Structure 1
Amino acid sequence: MNTEHRTGDPGQEDVPRLSPAAERLYVRSLSSGGLPNPAVGGGPVGLSAACLSPDELAASEQLLRLGLLAADAAEPARLVPVDPQLAAASVRRRVRLQSARIEEHGSRLVGELTRLSHLYDQASEEGPQAAPVQDLVGLDMITSAIDEAMRDCTEEALTAQPGNGRRADALARALGKAEDLLARGAHLRTLYQHPARFSEPIRDYVTKVSSLGAEVRTLDELPKRLMIFDRRTAFVSAAQDSRRAVLVRHPALVAYLTDTFERDWRRASPYDVRYRGGSAGRGLNEVQQTILRMLVDGEPDDAIARRMSLNVRTCRAHIAKILKAYDAQSRVQMAYQLGRSEALSGDGLRGGVPSGAPSGAA
């Protein structure tokens, strides 16, 4: 049988994946000696495209595009299997061509965007300034904008990071950027919530940046993620969607956000990397003292958990420890004990970190 194969120039098409269905169909073609060619009408005796299911037709198309099947030159209605080594060589060539096209397209697109950037800068100088408030959608856009602002920062960066922890990879990236910022002589101040005091990855991060001159404090609540660079540019997270943020350049709005940060900073307590918690009144740590204050204010468990960036189960575990600390069987009994001990009269339930917690600089 003549197995000369007709091959076109596949360099202009994407290379498909080899699906399990396509692999099974290839094995079947090896055992049967071939498959019907859907592109050619009729077919040899006992071999018709009608005997292929829709899934098998799709699989045969994959095999054709991968070069694992080809039309028999002597019998075009039959598709015959091709040596996978020959197909692999063809795929390598197509991948190289595809990579070259992508690189060429990327270079051309970057050049076009750079040209538009020059026009944008020129229009900003001659006409209206850049938008004072701009929506950023997508993690790539947000990260790129923040990275650019951080690279341009020469004086001070202020950041507020709500939540009870950050991923190790995110902290590693943040550390590298913080080191670059501090090496340029800029100052860095960061706010976390109290639960961050009990996160080992954050503790390691704080230890490193503090040794370079950064300052870190914690507070009971932080409403949104906030970053301010040189008091000229700010980034605010949008609601609960981490894929959306707002870039703020309006001087009055940036000043307001800066004042908000400074107010929180004054209320916050320095992050002491030596402190492991549990030295406040009745052995309660900062998280539990903050939860106690919210309980006194009548907050329900789910609201407390949300504000503290905890899950409800963890929040209730803290509440159980609070009840035990006050030797109370119920929250009503705890409230009575609080009244008797005049616990609400001290700073423990009204400040950022309860009285008795260390106040050394991080």
Structure 2
Amino acid sequence: MDLDDDTAAVYRAMLDDHTRTVTDLSKALSLSRPRVRKALDRLADVALLQPAGADPMVLVPSPPRVGMARLVAEAEAELAVQAGRVAAVRSLMETMAAEHDAHLHREALVHHRTVEAVRDRLEELSLEARTECVSLNPGRAHKPDAMAASKPLNQRALERGVAIRAVYQDSFRHDPATLDYARWLTEIGGQARTMPEVPMLLVVVDREVALLPRVVGDPSQGAIEVRSPALVAALVEHVEMVWLLAEPFGDQRRREAPLTSATSRQLLQMLASGVTDESAARRLGLSTRTVRRLMSDFMTQTGATSRFQAGVEAARRGLLDARD
């Protein structure tokens, strides 16, 4: 508790003459006797007035540095309590804000309504990425400024150990700038694949957040950011299926052999003996994508649950018999 004006005035008067009575102090300071007594009691409480010798009724002022040390200690203790309360409220505020943001991102779709906003968000996600960044890229060419902006981000992410995978449309091979970018990405450790038609524009980071167009086929309308675990998991499954069907960038393009019945029989025979899709594709002059499509058809036809089982079942049904 601070010293009020009455208490300070009485203390100063006692410094001038400690023998003054309540009546003397009342007259000298123009204060009522109750106010003087209250001030004297306060001075005694804070040890600014102490008994003189053995007579407790005779009080003399004590040095302020001694008597007011208690006031200072009380003020400091009060400040410490207030500081603790402020820290507690601030901690609670941050915890609740984090929970609010997590709930917002988990339940809501965040709209980024301009191309600039999408690029800014992609830059943030690239800097925050911990494990991987996967993208699907339809269309033939990418804008030069977008590729230039993403280069340093991708390089830093790869240096941090973040895996980068990108699926492009086959037609991008006709755009020199995009082709050079894909080559650069694979040379520094990224992975790129291509397929005839990429179904949609999509970016997934750390399997936790995804960005897709607000308007399908028109990226100029911005993007929707998705953080719902269920929705992101579904998009990840979609990405992995596309990745599985796509051809690794850099593989030599070759003219496929005709899909004759003999070719189909050879493929089934290879699968029955445990040959991989990639090996079968090389031997038959087909793309891995074509082999996988044929395998899917065979598995549907035979009701098999694995490639090896499909080959065995085809043999059991006589589908491997030599006939054209």
TM-score for the superposition, normalised by structure 2:
0.48
Normalized against structure 1, the TM-score is what?
Answer: 0.43
Highest CA radius of gyration, 1 or 2?
2
